[in-house]
Amino acid sequence: MPKSTIIGDIVKEYLTKYPYSSTRYIAKLIYKEVPQLFKEEESARLIVRYYRGVAGETNRKKLSPFSYKPQIVLPEPDEDDSYEPYLLEGDVYPILVGADAHMPFHNQDAVEMFFDYGLKIKPKTILLLGDWLDFYLLSHWVTDPRKRNAEDELAMFNKLLTQVRTTFPDVKIVFKYGNHEERWDDYVKTHAPEIFHVPTTHLRAQLDFDALNIDVVSDKRIIKAGHLYIIHGHEYKFNISNPVNPARGLYLRAKKSAMCGHFHQTSEHTESAINGDIVTCWSIGALCGLHPEYMPLNRWNLGFATVDMVNNSFVVSNKRIINNKLV
């Protein structure tokens, strides 16, 4: 990175002030408020992308923070093409994975068993794989206004996160957004788009993840632990559920060894490739109540999973909870 400049310092101030805003929005704001810095908005966008580390190798080599005068100036795309997996690397095993508590509609015994199992195996990583919150009243489905509101849900989950961090002070904790967590930011975007650039309106700030030293994986990003790909389950545009089981549906989409939650069902599917490589996919059970009012009859079960590394190969243990017993 080049030496600090006035332009660079100003851009970094805006990035610090608006860490969750889009590159396009920040560039527009800088160009509007400090127009003397750039001849056009596109140049401001290139500088913002540069300091976010997503300018691309070609642009990074030719870009000067003092000025940038391209011969042909193209408008920046609406979205940065910086979709990369979140990597779980190094001393991260064993990994304790739990999803779909849907608080406040959680199964209290199942959630307690999940964290009690963590105390037993002493994980290096706890992966909360989405839909730990429900945000019932933010749903686009018909809802009962007498149910718990979003403020109550946030308070309940904040209390849980604080207890988890206190109980596991040295454990890496990763929180992956599921489709229910996305309801919060989607609601703000839909009903109050004018204030979405304010960082405190985002779920990340509401749950104080930074203060609790919890990594957040949003934007439907994949989590990669060695050769295992981990998603919540809603990331594909078309549902990956399958008449056989969710794990087979995941295999048909991913074509790699992968794990998901979302379907509230423990399942496993294995196939071998033409070269003999074994590909296995898993779906894990839920930690919520099994008979919600909107779908009391279903194929759900309680459960969670662990991922460990043995002889340089990952090993998944897909746990089910039956009659308050771990099997």
Dist. CA 15–CA 50, nearest whole Å: 11
pLDDT single digits (tens) 142-162: 677 777 789 999 999 999 999
Is residue 297's pLDDT more than 80?
A: yes
Is residue 120's pLDDT more than 80?
A: yes
Is residue 173's pLDDT more than 60?
A: yes
Q: Place 68 in a pLDDT band, splitting at 50, 70 and 90.
A: very low
The strand order across the sheet containing 214-217 reads 214-217, 172-176, 125-128, 95-98, 302-310, 313-322, 325-326
User: b/e for 278-317, b at 16 or more Cβ within 10 A?
Assistant: ebbbbbbbbbbbbeeeeeeeeebbbbbbbbebeeeebebe
0.75 exceeded by the pTM?
yes
Is residue 263's pLDDT more than 50?
A: yes
On whether the CB atoms of residues 290 and 298 are closer than 8 A, the answer is yes
Which long-range contacts (C-beta less than 8 Å, at least 24 apart) are formed by 63-68? Answer: 64/2, 65/2, 65/5, 65/7, 65/8, 65/11, 66/5, 66/7, 67/43, 68/43
Q: Place 2 in a pLDDT band, splitting at 50, 70 and 90.
A: very low
Could you tell me which residues are beta bridge partners of residue 107?
none
- Domain residue spans of the chain: 1-82, 86-326
The alpha-helical segments, DSSP class H, found in the chain are 6-17, 23-33, 41-51, 57-62, 108-121, 150-167, 182-191, 203-206, 246-254
pLDDT single digits (tens) 86-95: 999 999 999 9
Neighbours of 54 (CB within 10 A): 15
User: Would you state the pLDDT for residue 235?
Assistant: 96
On whether the CB atoms of residues 65 and 2 are closer than 8 A, the answer is yes
What is the rounded average pLDDT of the residues 39-60? 75
CA-based R_g, the chain, Å: 22
Q: Quick one: CATH architecture of 86-326?
A: 4-Layer Sandwich (3.60)
Q: Place 315 in a pLDDT band, splitting at 50, 70 and 90.
A: very high
